[in-house]
Every structure is written in structure tokens, then in C-alpha cells.
Structure 1
């Protein structure tokens, strides 16, 4: 076959080049993938919007369809968006518009819809010709100042118009409303959050740029779904915020009504199809997978969700509830915090998400300030000309009247009065009515205002702190305008089967050692003894280890464990390993994330704490701090900060106070001070506190306990609370096992930060004070030594004596042993065995 080309083949054929099919397919696929990633499926980290959402809002902005304008047909909005900015099908644009109007999809809907925009039953929106829409007020915050050159614009698809590449976003929309999308080879699924919490987190980040994700989680508790429901456990939240990926268990809100024999569901997990879920529950009941249900009704209306599950006679409500949770009313929500950063997809943790938003707002405020500054300077330039013209009004008028035309007048003004071209043009156009004295006063006032504005804008542009201050102020304004209460609760992860119900409730003795070993033993295993006894072995110890804490609690108690480092952990007693008296215990690393030199110094039973009470803390160095109990409602598995400490200081004791009590603080050297708790004002968890007592010398910073015993100084060992007419006694126990009871009335009230009174003599026989407790005669004492001996005795066995006495022997110790910890039990003891 001849390969000669005919003479009439166009010259363009010479430009044809051979390519390999696989190379062309690879490049085309990459181009397609990047187009989907950047132009369709993933949100921009700055404004949290996908291109179609951004174009819908901008089209509404251009058409004046604001929150205070009338609703416009959705078909009109879709048509404007498609014709000007988004060259795709009208169905995809309307789907995006409808979702932005759904209050069950977005935590803060961006579109105010009128008509049927779908439902939680999976019903589709009505056709766009039937529905109407306008921007929601929150959406206007995303577009605020867009006309002030705050963001870059790009050509639309046919180069007729320009559209913003990103919106100014006066609120962090990506976290507020979340986003989901599937691109090529990647996907994103960011849950919605509470506006108030996110703004508080951003403000904290601005103030503390070196803060950690855990610090931010003190403000951003977790996702806040528009459909409320419950997030089970905090580990998934922590994983998502720390790494950008995590899994949450979202559980429906349901109530078991034993009297009416029914279970009522009032909230469903996010993105759950209610009608389909009710249908599947009914199917499982009919097929026998779920037993005990006699009827199932969906009584939901516009006021909210209400699914009623009627129980059969004799059915176990808890079993039915657990079955519903296991199969239908609990689902997993996977978080993937993937967003576009500078056009590239990145998985971001919580801090990085907020940092990207702050960087965006920094650029927006800077550009807006530059725009406003230019306008203000132009206005000041004109005002200066007008004021100068007023000062020389006769000369200016004569010059203009004597000029042949406008151009000559402008030239004369520039020559004789040194006006610029814009100033001269403005003077020529001035009306005679603006030459009045009243007009002059108004011009001077306006000039002063413009000058002040220029100075303010120059300060913002020249000082990074001022610029960040503007960002904070605007965020706080948005928060005050739109913030609402959290809807989604974060509940403890107890699983669908309650383990606690399978554990008998009994009193336990919990032992913690400095080597991080822990165990619990039944209190009944220790028979009461008279004072002066040696006790029995309470725990086996590893070489070099010592007992640090002993306390008594019920198996069903929820405990707040405060450590020497100022951290607090939440612990359930029944989660601790139960072991015999001679067992060493098990490492507590999986229960309490303690550092090597950190130990538990105080235990608070949450059953003893009411919402309006305070947790009053005292440190070894003599500082006291009160914090509202509600600050400790949500504690991470890794603990949270309870008090900030100075270097070398440590938290030694915590007491529950009601705001109307006195506190008594005791020291190692046997001093005690009593004052009104209100002398230490309530503070947040991150505060250090105020001075409580003046110490003679200090043991603070002496880490080795043996060094502390030889120290001549002093340190706080504990605190108790008391009332004016309190009939209890103050129990003081020393290192060598001596102690006494003294009526609380013998400790007169003083002012905070005094030296206090002598409580007990700390001579060579007694040693320093180790514990301070309030007791009644019928209370039980559980005393444990560092060597592992434990003794249980009646409080009445300890003699009642006055202040400044030596006390009596409470527990007999070996020469190389010391009292480690004392706890008070209110469990009744009917008999006391003889030694």
C-alpha cells in the first residue's frame, strides 16, 4: 500500500504525532481525577464550601436574594447559577441548594427555604418550580465584605463574568456545617459542630498559638449534629481531632417508660432515614429477631421525632432496649477530615483546621483594611481640598469665575493653590451651597473621623496583634449573634450491655502504689481492730515500691482521681482489678495515664458532688483554688487539667464545698489554718489559685520522700471543710502512726494567708503530719503504711484531745515503715474484735 499523501491534505496533518494509548489514558484520568477533587467533591478548608455551593450563594448575592429580601423561585436561582457560574445539570445544582436548606442536614442552614425541601424519612424535595428560597442570615456572614477585594476572583466558565475562588467566611463554616463527598481515590466526611464551641476554640488558638489538640478539645467538645442524639464515648472524638480520622458511635435518644410498658425514641442518629429504620425494626419483630414488642408506631410531627415501641406483658424492657440499640438505633459515623489546602487535598487534625481558617481570616482582614484605607485616604484627600477651599473661598470663587472654562479653572486651582488633579476636579464641581459655615463644621468633623479611621487601619496593618484582635472581635460578635445550645450529648461508653448491673454493690478498699500498681479488695476482708494495732498485710510490694494512696469506695462509684501533677481522671471502681490481700496489684497504665513521678493524691466520689458545689483544691506549696463542679462534667480518658502548678509544686488534696463553708488546711509541721472558703474566689480549671497559708520554709520541689522527712521546712498535707456549728472532730495522723481527734470548734476562723494555729506537736516521736480528716465517733478509719500493712479501726478508738498535743498511738509500725494514707469510711461496724 502506498503511504504517499494526496496533495490536498491540509497542512495540519503535519502536526499529528503518535502517542501511546496507555500514556494518554493515564494523563486523561489524572486530569479527570484532579477536576473531580478540586472542582466538585471536596470543600475548601477556608470557607468549607464546594464549588457548587459557593456559586449558588454568590449567584443569590449578585441577584440581591438576601435574608431580608423576598423568597425567589428555586428554579430561578438554579437557572442563574447554571447560566452564569456552574455549567452542569440543573438537578445537581438543585440538590445542593435543597441540602443547604435542610435543618436536619446542616447544623446552621445556609438557605432559608419555603416549601418542601425533603424530610428525615428520605422524601425528596418538591420540584424546583414549586419551592422558593433566599439566603439565610448565616450565609450572609460568609459573603460579608466580598466587595472590598478581600478574596481573589477568577473568570467563569465562558470568561464573561468573574466569580470568587473562595468566600471571605466570617465564620468557620467547614466545622460548623461539616461536609461529605466522594472524589477519585479519596473521600471526606466532616461532621457538623456547635458554633459557640468552635468560635471559642478559634479564639483560644489565636491567644495561644502553641496550644495542643487536647487544649482545644476543652472548648470543642465534639461534633454537634442537627438531629441531636448521643455520641457514645470520647475516644473516637479524640482520634478524629488528633489525627483527622476517627469513628464515632452515635446512639438514638430513647426513654424506657416502665409504667406505660413502652420505649419512646425522640432523637435519631445523624443522616438516619427514619421511615426505613421503622420499617426494618418492624421486619425484625415479625421475623422474631427482636422479641417482646407488641406494637410499633411512628408518631413524629413537625415538633420532632417520636417513635413509640409498645412492650408485651412480661417483656424485659432493658433487654428490648439493648436489642434495639444493637441492631437499629446505634450506628457508626466515620470521620475523615479531608479538605483542599492551596488546591491540594489534605487530611487535617482539629488544630490544623482552625489554623487554616485563622490564616484565611488574617488575609481577608488585611485586604479589607487595605481597601478601606485606600478609600479613607482618597476621601481625606478630597476633604483636605474642600477645607482649603473654604479657607480661601473668595479667591477660589474669583479664580473660577475668571476662568474661560472648566479646564482653565482646574489648571488655575492647581497652580495657585497646589491642588492635585482629583482635588481640582472636585472643587470645580462643588455647589455654592456647600460653602456655608455649617457645611464647614460638618467637613471638619468628617475629616477628624476619617483621619481617626486611617490611623486605626494603619495600626491594624502594622501590628499583627491588632489584626488578630479584629478577627477575635468579629468572631465573638458572630458567636453572640448565632450561637445556641449544644444538641448532641456525649455519653459514657458502657456498651449495649450494662456491665455494672452484673456486679454486686459492695464496699471496697482501693490501694495505689508509687510504682503505678493498683487493686481493689473487699472492705469486709479487714476486721476492725483497737487503736495501736499493727494491722495485717494489705498488699504485696515490688522492691523499692511504696504505697501512696488508700481509699474506700463502692463498686458502683464513679471517682474523680486527682494527681500530684494537677491532672484529674475519671474512674469506675468496678473497673479496677479485684485481688487478694497479698497480691501486688496490676499496672494502672491502662486505667490512669500517670507519668513516672505522678501519683494519685485525692479521690472525690461524684455521688457526693452537686452541680452548684465546688471542688476546692490545695497544693503542697500552700495555694488554694475553688472551681465549679460543672467544669469536671466531661473528662477525657487521658485526663484533663484540674489546676496549674508552679515548678516543683504539686496538688495534695481536694474537698467538696458548697460555697458557704470554712476550709481548714493542715501542714506537715502540725500547723492548721481555718478561713471562709469565699476568701478564695471561684476560678477556671487552668488557674493556679491564691495563697492559703504562710509556710515556714518549704518542702516544695523536694521529690524524694526520704529527703522530705529530713527537711526542716513545711508543706501542706491536706484540707477539710467545716461549718460554723459543725459537731465533727478533726482527725490528725502523723508519719509514725500517732494521731488525735480535736473538736472543729477549737479552730477559730482567721484570714486567708496567715500562719495558722498549732494543731499537733510534730516531734521526734510523732514525725510530720501525713493526713487530715473530719470524722464522727461512729466512722471507720482505714490506715495503710508504705510497707503494705493495712489497719481498720473505729474513729472512737482515737482519743479526743485539744490542740497542741501529741496524740496517741493509732497504728504500730516497724522501724523502717511509715503511714502512707488514711481514709474515712461511714460503713457501720457493729463489733470490734480484740487484738
Structure 2
């Protein structure tokens, strides 16, 4: 049981969590992660610089151990982990992270390869020369001081910051609900932008961009996208592309190499080099023979040595797209302004800095006037004392002590207490004619200084002129050339296939059930003529030698097609089963059969695809319609109605005839020019006038010089061979000529049609999973009125259901 002295509050958990997290978030936002809009520093950075300033660890003095500074910061101002303080200190010294380093460091302070710095006990540091401009006039009551965490010392809430550090060095950070990404800029350009804003307080962002052209990264590089810069400068958010600086150099033997001398900001060079070399090792890109990092004291240099005849521009474009050789940089310019996080454009940042500087100059001038007037008052007293020196000496000699002397001087000659103190403290050697001259000269200088300071305080124009003169002085002292070049437009990256793929001959195989693969010539040769590996019920519909630069189109019975470059087909040994089409696309249906595989070296502008369906529809469509930009899913080849199935696909040039055989025994031949050309998603037109219950059993495209014969198989196992000359071309959508002799009992019905000659073998599959091989040379040629010759026993081997020709690569 609790004692009565204990104070226990009964609070809802969500209230407690909300309150505590709110306080914590406010602290993180204001006191840790985000920079102040006035001096561009986070609290830990400000405390590091202030601690070094207090200790006299300045640019004109020697270096001191970093550990000593870290200890001072932790002990006096920033009660957090020593590693976080040291990391912030190191970052301010890294010339590849900040545009103008605020700390000079001796020893290992890390590298652009991501190497960690040496421990703080090994490194030495001091404030850089330009950092003194951030701290200048700190002792003149220019900024507010607050007690430190244990009330034993005071620290500034902001630094005077005589140059616009927020834009010059930029900032990155993540806090609770806020993040910031402000890129570094060129000091000269930013000061010119401030001067322009002072001259014209109503100028636009476009006016400012004539001076501040864009970020200036310490690692150089090329920025593309001036529209992104303008958007960021107007709104605080925007996107640009940062590209490495590269050149293509010629080598001996007709080879070339790509040399990289500048990389994007905050990119780890070692990781970038490894990524590029991994692409070479993994053969994701052809043409690279070696990647070397030749960086030394003279500067960054990465060399990508290319193979002979490699496309240097193509390789470079691929690296731009697939590595950090080119990155997107996203502006997110958030800073603390009026104690609140605010998304700021460049105008509001300049205005925040200018307002801060006006306050600094005002407070400094007020301080200097107070000091000057105090000194002037003393000088007036000393000069008056020297003019009545004998009386002053007499009074001092006649006084009992210092206090009495001061009182007598104040009473008899109307000196103030401060003047009397100065007189009695005056050393005897200064009672000379020379000293009175020096006092008069100092009095004149003080009067002039007071007049100047009062003019600054009394007239805004004088204050602005003072600020401009100080900025001009800093610009002259610390001027540096721009490192990052800017290009107006973002270059579109186009990658040629030959850059990615080694051109080689392979054997591509496709089976009816949808198993696809490509096999290297070495693997195919090692098979010693073995048959293609596939399931027992399956058969090959395409086996052909192709180049990896070619493309393959797979058409399915449901009117869809799958597009794949040959080099993207699965690379599988000849003795192994291929990969199913369901692995090539995300939406392949289980009841789709592959009915045709058509190789494409180039997509002809003059050729068409000819599609024919089971229900007697036909369509011609330009080959160019079937070259997709994206091919992760199946694409529509022909719009099928109801239960219709795509039966055949062929490439035509418009000079051929098409021959259709119906199940009930009709044959129709006509010119393909009678089929109108339409788009990829159309349903086509009527191909053949079918009786009720009839359907198209087979289709053949007949070239003008075709020498092969028609071979048709019936469901009763009969094969019929006919000359093409038996059929004269007529018109589309007719019924055609009867090719079977009608029988009352068990009439013959066609199940397939092939064009074949004596060198071909037709394989006939039955409903009993039996395959009968038919040598076409053994078939005699007949006329239209016969039912052909029986080539199999229906009782023993089953009813024929499909046929296919032998294929060889």
C-alpha cells in the first residue's frame, strides 16, 4: 500500500504517450536534427565551434587533440554520446561533404570511400579560417546567451554567422516527422544573391537564379534539370539529376576506356566501383573488360576499360541508369525559423539571413557605441585633468587615500566617479606633452566612430551598406570557383540491347504445352542428337537456331501473345525440361496452349501477321503492332468471340494465298490480299462459310513458289495427299470445294492440315497416347474425291486427335 506522501496520478496511457512523445519530438526537431535558418548550424555543430572558440582553438594557433574538444563539448554544452559529437566534428572537416570546411583536422578524417575516421585520440583539430567569420563579434552581445544544461556556463542560441552558411554548406538530417536535405552552394554566388536581394527586396526567384545558379557540390559533377532547381528554390522541394563527369579515351589497339573524374554528391566511391565491377562479373552488361580505381593525391579517377569494338556510349548509358554514376537529388529545404521547422525557398532563406545580419549589426553597433562613449567619457576626464595638472596633483597629494582622492576630485572639479578612477590610476610617465596629443587624437577617432555607428543605427540604408561591405570583404577573402556544372535539360538515357547482351547463336525450343528455353550451342552439340527433353504427352512446335539479339513471339490458343527477347529466355541445357510460360508472364492461363512461335530479327514495316480461328474468323494485322514497350504480361493478339480458339498464325507479305480445310471436308483457297488489315485488338472478318456444327480444322499459307503438297489427316486414321493445283483461288468467306467422298456410315472428318513433301515426317497423336509416325514419301497423291489411305489401325492405336511435323534446329 502506498504512503500518503506519494503523489500518484491516474492518467490514460494515450495521453501520457502523446505528451511525452510530443515533448521528445519538439526537442529532436529544435535541438538536434534540423539547422537554424540564420546560421545554418545544428545545435551540436554550434556547440563544437563555440567550445573551440572559448578554448582558443582557432585558425591562427596550433592544432589540439580532438578528444579534448569532444570532452569540452560533452562536459559543458552537449550531454550526449561522444561518438555523435565526434562524427559531427569530423563531418565539418570533410571537404567532400561540406563546400567550405568549418574545421581543419590533422590525421585520418575518413574518405570518400566511406572509410571511418581515426579515433578522436589520434586526430587533431582547430577552427578553420572561415569559421572565424561565423563566430566574429560573438563577444559584442550580438546574440542571446542561455545557461547550459547544468547552469555552470552560458552558450549562444545562434552564431553571428557573417556569411550565409545554411546555403553555402547545406545540411541533412532526420527528425520526428521532419527531414531536411539542403544542398551546398558556392560562397561567391550566394553572397552575390544576398547583395541582389539587398539592392532589390522585391526581386523574384528567377532574378536570384541569375546569381545563385544552383547547388555547387564539393565533389563536382553535373546537375541536369534547371526547372527542378527553380521549383526547389521557389517551394523548398524539387528534383534534379546529378551525373558523374566522364570522358571516353582512346587506347592502343582500337580499344577505349571510360574515365570518371567526378561523382555525385554523397556517393560512396568504393561501393560505386564494386557495383560496376559486379555488373561485369555477373555479365549483366557486355563490353567491360576491367574496372579500376586509380584515385591518388592528384584527384579522383575511376577507369572502366572496354573490350574491343564495345559501344562506349552504350556502356556509359547503362552505367548511368543502373549504378550511382547518376542519381536523383531531391531538395527538401527545411530549417528552424522563428523556433519552428519550416519548408523554405531560397528567397525566404536569404531574407532570414539578411534579417539576422541586420540584428547582428544593430546589436554590435549599439555595443560599440556604449564602449566608445564610455571611453570618450574617460578621455574627456583625462584631458581635463592634464589641463589642470598642478591642482590635480595637489589634491591627490593632500588626500588620505585613493578613495579620498577620488572624492576630492569629484567635489572640487566636477569629475565623474569613472573619470576620477581613471585619473588616480594614471601612471606618472603619461604626464607628458606626447600623451595629451595622443588623447586628443583618440578623442577625435572616438567622435568619428560614434558618428558612424549612430549613422548606421539611425538610417537603414547605412546599415545595409555596412552589411554589403562586410559581405564583399568575405567574398574577396574566400572566393572559390564553381565545381559543379549545370545543364538545362535532363538527358534521356537510351540503352541499346547489344550493350547488355553478348551476340551469340543459341537453340530456342518451344513445346505445345508451353515449355520454353534457350540452349547454348555447346550444350546442344554435347547432346549427340538426342531428342528435346519434354513431357511424354507434349511435343515441340518450334526448334530453331536464333541469335540472342532476336525476339520471340509466342501465340496462344486464347488469342494472346507473349513477347520475349531471346536473351531473356531461360538458359537451360538441352537435356533439361524448359521453363513454363507462366514464369515468363504474370497472368498466363492454365488452359492456354502455345499454337505458334515466331522468331523476329526486326519488326518489318511491310509484313503482316495472318490469324485464323477455329470458328472461321481471319485477320491480318501489321507486324509493327506487336512490338511492345512493356511485356511483363500477356498481350492481346486477336479479339476472340465466345468459345473461339486461335488456330494458326503466320507472317505474310501480301503475295500469298491462304488455304482453309474444314472439319466436314471443305477446302477453300483465296489470296491473303482479300483479308483487310486491322489493328491488334480487332476480331477480324469471316474466313470461311461454315455449315452448322462445322469448324476450321487446318490452315496453310501458300507462297507463290510453294512446292509442297497438302496432307490432311482424318479422325479415322486416313491420310490424304493432294497437289495444290487441285484448288484454284476463289473468294474469301465461301464454302469451298468438298475434298472427301461422303459415306453414310462412319464418314471421314479432317482433324489437321499440313504442307509437306517426301522429306517430311508427320506425327499423329491419338486418344490412347499413342504416336504414329507417317513418312510422307509413302503417301500417294490423290484427287479431291478420295478419302485417302489408312495409315493406322483405329482399333489398336486409337482415334487421331492432333498432328505435327518433325522439327530440327
Q: What is the CA-CA distance between 1:114 and the residue it aligns to?
A: 0.6
1:558-597 map, 5 Å = none
Can you list the C-alpha shifts for 1:484-513, whole angstroms capped at 9, x where unaligned?
1000000242524479xxxxxxxxxxxxxx
The aligned residue for residue 283 of structure 1 is 278
Aligned counterparts, 1:37-56, within 5 A: 37-56=29-48
Question: 1:142 is matched with which residue: 118, 134, 138?
Answer: 134
Give TM-score scaled by structure 2 length: 0.60
Aligned partners of 1:467 and 1:492: how far apart in 2? Answer: 38
Aligned to 1:270: 265
1:302 Cα shift?
2.0
Q: Which runs of 5+ in 1 are unaligned?
A: 500-835
2:174 is matched with which residue?
A: 182
Displacement of 1:194 in angstroms is 0.1
1:380 and 2:376 correspond: yes
Which structure 2 residues correspond to residues 259-408 of structure 1 after superposition, within 5 A? 259=251, 261-328=256-323, 329-408=325-404
Q: How many residues align?
A: 491
Query: What is the alpha-carbon distance in structure 2 between the residues aligned to residue 379 and residue 193 of structure 1?
Result: 43
Asked if the contact 2:223/2:484 (under 8 Å) is kept, the reply is yes
State the partner residue of 1:698: none
Secondary structure of 1:215 counterpart: helix
| Secondary structure in structure 2 of the residue aligned to 1:249 | strand
The offset of 1:291, in angstroms, is 1.6
Partner of 2:357: helix, strand, or coil? helix
Offset, 1:448: 0.5
| Deviation at residue 24 of structure 1 after TM alignment | 0.7
Q: Give how far 1:321 is off.
A: 1.4
Partner of 1:58: 50
CA RMSD of aligned residues (A): 1.3
User: Is the aligned partner of 1:32 residue 2:24?
Assistant: yes
Give the deviation of 1:295 after TM superposition. Answer: 1.2
**Bigger mean CA offset, 311-320 vs 100-109:** 311-320
How far apart are the structure 1 equivalents of 2:368 and 2:430? Answer: 26
Q: Describe how 1:792-807 pairs up with structure 2 within 5 A.
A: none
Per mean C-alpha deviation after superposition, the further-off stretch among 418-427 and 281-290 is: 281-290
Q: Which runs of 5+ in 2 are unaligned?
A: 496-809
CA distance in 1, matches of 2:344, 2:132: 27
Does the CA-based 8 Å contact 1:112-1:136 persist in structure 2?
yes
Q: What displacement does 1:270 show?
A: 0.3
Question: How do 1:580-619 residues align onto structure 2 when only pairs under 5 Å count?
Answer: none
Q: Report the Cα offset of residue 199 of structure 1.
A: 0.2
CA distance in 2, matches of 1:248, 1:157: 42
Query: How does the TM-score come out when normalised to structure 1?
Result: 0.58
Conservation of the 8 A alpha-carbon contact between 2:321 and 2:493? no
Residues 57 and 64 of structure 2 are in contact (CA less than 8 Å); yes or no, is this contact kept in structure 1? Answer: yes
Q: How far apart are the structure 1 equivalents of 2:383 and 2:471? A: 39
Write out aligned runs for 1:433-512 (5 A).
433-493=429-489, 495-497=491-493
Task: Give the structure 2 partner of residue 600 of structure 1.
Answer: none
Q: Do structure 1's residue 217 and structure 2's residue 209 form an aligned pair?
A: yes
Contact 2:65 2:122 in 1 (8 A): yes
Task: Give me the whole-angstrom Cα distance separating, in 1, the residues matched to 2:297 and 2:122.
Answer: 20
Q: Does 1:12 align with 2:12?
A: no
Q: CA 1:25–1:497 in structure 2 vs 1: closer, same or farther (change >3 Å)? A: closer
The CA distance in 2 between the partners of 1:243 and 1:411, in whole Å, is 67
Contact 2:107 2:123 in 1 (8 A): yes
Decide whether the 8 Å contact of 1:326 with 1:496 is kept in 2. Answer: no
Instruction: Quote how far apart the aligned CAs of 1:233 are.
Output: 2.1
CA deviations on 1:735-769 (whole Å, 9 max, x unpaired) are xxxxxxxxxxxxxxxxxxxxxxxxxxxxxxxxxxx
Q: Answer yes or no: is the 8 Å Cα contact 1:146–1:167 preserved in 2.
A: yes
CA distance in 1, matches of 2:95, 2:424: 57
Hey, what does 2:114 align to over in structure 1?
Answer: 122
List per-residue Cα deviations over 1:763-785 (Å, max 9, x = no partner).
Answer: xxxxxxxxxxxxxxxxxxxxxxx
Q: Contact conserved, 2:233 with 2:345, CA < 8 A, in 1? A: yes
Are 2:78 and 1:78 aligned?
no
Corresponding residue for residue 167 of structure 1: 159
SS at match of 2:5: helix
Tell me the alpha carbon deviations over residues 691-711 of structure 1, each in whole angstroms, 9 at most, x when there is no partner.
Answer: xxxxxxxxxxxxxxxxxxxxx
Alpha-carbon offset, residue 411 of structure 1: 1.8
Segments of 4+ moved more than 4 angstroms: none
Partner of 1:780: none
- Work out which of the residue numbers 81, 87, 91 in structure 2 matches 1:89: 81
Question: Where do 1:668-687 residues align within 5 Å?
Answer: none
The structure that has the greater radius of gyration is 2
CA positional deviation for 1:277: 0.7
Q: Secondary structure at the match of 1:416?
A: helix
Q: CA deviation at 1:430?
A: 1.4
Offset of residue 342 of structure 1: 1.5
Contact (CA 8 Å) 1:151, 1:165: kept in 2 or not? Answer: yes
Residue equivalent to 1:585? none
For the residue of structure 2 that corresponds to 1:64, the secondary structure is: coil
Kept in 1: contact 2:99–2:169 (CA 8 A): yes
Q: Residues 554-586 of structure 1, C-alpha deviation per residue, up to 9 Å, x if partnerless?
A: xxxxxxxxxxxxxxxxxxxxxxxxxxxxxxxxx
Structure 2 residue aligned with 1:192: 184
Where does residue 133 of structure 1 map in the other structure? 125
Q: Is the 8 A contact 2:35 2:41 kept in 1?
A: yes
Would you say 1:202 and 2:194 are equivalent positions?
Answer: yes
